[in-house]
Chains A and B, each alone.
Chain A
């Protein structure tokens, strides 16, 4: 009798964490993620400039992968945004905008970082792949919002210039798990290139604002 009771108690004690864990994520979900990560490492080979370390996820990549299609708790989103905001390197000279003409070239350029790309060749941000920008360019994608009249409609303020530079440098600082790459943070663009693209959005003479 006594023995049965203890056994039941032990079973219940073991079951409680299992149930809690089960509520937090689908059964075996963490295990599946770990298996998937290991499978990935064995299923890719380095090629050109793309080495296997590209499969090592940072906190944002790992967390956002887990929460795709699920509601993300507010504190988790805030943690990601805070960490990414802190990582932004603001220009030492204080100038946030560069040359919009060069920004347009960067926005059009689709090459860069693919293993088929020359690591010393042109590397762009391919903004038009996902966004409408200058009205003359009709071949634009729709994964991101239209940025036509970005500066004109928002106002040519210091705050908006800072936002444009920061958003291009590290988009997750403003919106956790956004689809947009972190161009400055990941070294896709250098500081001057981030400034040039920011100018494409915020310079009153840029075709985006004309």
Chain B
């Protein structure tokens, strides 16, 4: 299915964007893209990542040859169901606020005996190599589908992460003076024909946050939220966001908390 999608997708994008672009008007082009997106929902290759992730989760791996089944994602060791809807959160054992990817890496170190560097290496897949991290993320997030986003700001470090994430959202810098808010601070804006969620409002944050991670048709990959942030900053002309860095977790905390109350609905599928 993935192979077929890969072959069809570029042609479909071309047909929907460029052909009406010549023959029809602006609104028709937007309509056709909406139809294309709706058509994508029929079959989501993310299921392949979810299945692989579940398999890997239960395998005995790493220097200690143990599985991740006893990993505590916040609801107790071994509880995966619904855990993602309450992340990021403060973990006393790490004395740090952690998002999902950081917590998985933590479990790979503490349970399986990997080094921190090994746990955080090759976390984004490419054309020739699938990333285990993205499979883990697909599995864990799929187990929260339908759960209500419920990110707490109880611990002082959770509150601090939220405040820092908010600052970061409005931080303008780089060659282009861009902040997250430049593109995601107003309603009903687009880059080219791509709609932009207004992440400063509850509705926009909910819609965006609950549909990541996602299978990216144009890349043939399942992409985690860490990847989403990493690639935003690339386009923002910033240096590279370090995987699992404090800033990445703080910004995730800000966005996840703003999505509270919405039903989680990912892994999704996007263009």
Contacts and interface: CB of A to CB of B under 8 A. Distances in A.
Given A68-B179, A139-B29, A181-B177, A115 B172 contact: no
Interface of A: 32-33, 35-37, 39-40, 42-47, 50-52, 54-57, 60-62, 64-66, 68-69, 113-116, 128-130, 138-143, 172, 179, 181-182, 186-188
A148 to B, nearest CB: 12
Given A42-B246, A182-B177, A141 B239 contact: no
25 contacts: A32-B164, A35-B167, A39-B247, A42-B247, A43-B245, A44-B233, A44-B238, A45-B239, A50-B239, A60-B177, A61-B177, A64-B177, A65-B172, A68-B170, A68-B179, A68-B185, A69-B170, A114-B235, A129-B191, A139-B17, A139-B192, A141-B194, A143-B189, A187-B175, A188-B176
Nearest to B235: A114
Nearest to B165: A36
Interface of B: 17, 21, 25-26, 29, 163-164, 167-168, 170-179, 181-183, 185-186, 188-194, 196, 200, 233-235, 237-242, 245-248, 250
Contacts, number: 141
Given A69-B200, A141-B190, A40 B29 contact: no
Contacts of B196: 143
Q: Main secondary structure on chain B at its contact with chain A?
A: mixed
Nearest to B237: A113
Contacts of B186: 143
Contacts of B176: 113, 181, 186, 188
B183 A143 contact: yes
B247 A40 contact: yes
B186, B240, B241 — most chain A CB neighbours (10 Å): B240
A45 B242 contact: yes
B17 to A, nearest CB: 7
A44 B245 contact: yes
B245 A42 contact: yes
B11 to A, nearest CB: 17
